[in-house]
Amino acid sequence: MKVLKATAFVIAVLTLSLLSVPKGQAQTTSNAAAVTMTFAVNSSLTVAATPGSIVFTATDPKNAAASAPISIVTSWSLAVGGGNVFTVAYFASIPAALTDGTHNIPASDVFASINGGAAAACTLANVNVAAGNPGAICPQIFGGIGVTAQGTHSDSLLLSLTSSTAFPASTTGYAGTITISAQAT
């Protein structure tokens, strides 16, 4: 029994010695440093159009067809959803959408078919995008009302030329630029 008491005493002393830590080995905890994090993602709106150029071929003296439709992809990442996205095509000049330097083909002789729809003259004054000259805007390509915050929309724009009179012959050929842009509201 003495042995049992002695063993119990030794175990108790060892247990107590393990629980008490000398001052030199005491645990220390630092303060907590907070770091604020920010990440700014700006809204974006882009338009891609291919091919980069088209050629018109006369089908008769008053009409011409484009070599290919223009594929247009409008992409957006907006701060909030439920906004509107509009894509249009326009010319910088009403009287000279295409020119050879002497003769002009006006915007009213350029017709646009959107996604295989009926062709209409590029004579609109305002189609939700504050760009181009009033009277030189083609029919609206895309009008997304209440779009989600992120999205992409693909369209096709087929151009043609139609005049009430024959197009004047040109030794240099006609050239011009159609601009395609989008606006989010």
pLDDT digits (tens, 9 = 90+) for 99-111: 999 999 999 999 9
Q: Which structural domain, as residue segments, surrounds residue 162? A: 44-184
> What digits encode the pLDDT tens for the residues 48-95?
999 999 999 999 999 999 999 999 999 999 988 778 999 999 998 899
What pTM did the predictor assign? 0.77
pLDDT (0 to 100) of residue 82 = 79
Report the pLDDT value the prediction gives residue 40, as an integer from 0 to 100. Answer: 84
* Phi, psi (deg, nearest 5) at residue 150: -125, 140
pLDDT tens sequence across 111-155? 999 999 999 999 988 766 655 567 789 999 999 999 999 999 999
- Is 12 a domain residue? no
Q: Is residue 117 part of a domain?
A: yes
Question: For the chain, how many helices (H) and strands (E)?
Answer: 1, 12
For the ranges 5-9, 12-16, 70-74, the lowest mean pLDDT is seen at 12-16
Give 20 or 93, the one with higher predicted confidence.
93
Report the alpha-carbon distance of residue 49 to residue 51 in Å, rounded.
6
Per-residue confidence at 6, pLDDT binned at 50, 70, 90?
Answer: low
141 domain residue, yes or no: yes
Cis, peptide link before residue 51, omega less than 30° from 0: yes
- Which pLDDT score, from 0 to 100, does residue 24 have? 60
Extract the tokens encoding 56: 């018109």
CATH number for the domain harbouring residue 82: 2.60.40
Q: Answer whether residue 14 shows pLDDT above 90.
A: no
Cα–Cα distance measured from residue 127 to residue 134, given in angstroms and rounded to the nearest whole number: 9
Within a domain: residue 18?
no
Q: How many domains does the chain have?
A: 1
Question: Of 95, 81, 65, nearest to 148 (Cα)?
Answer: 81
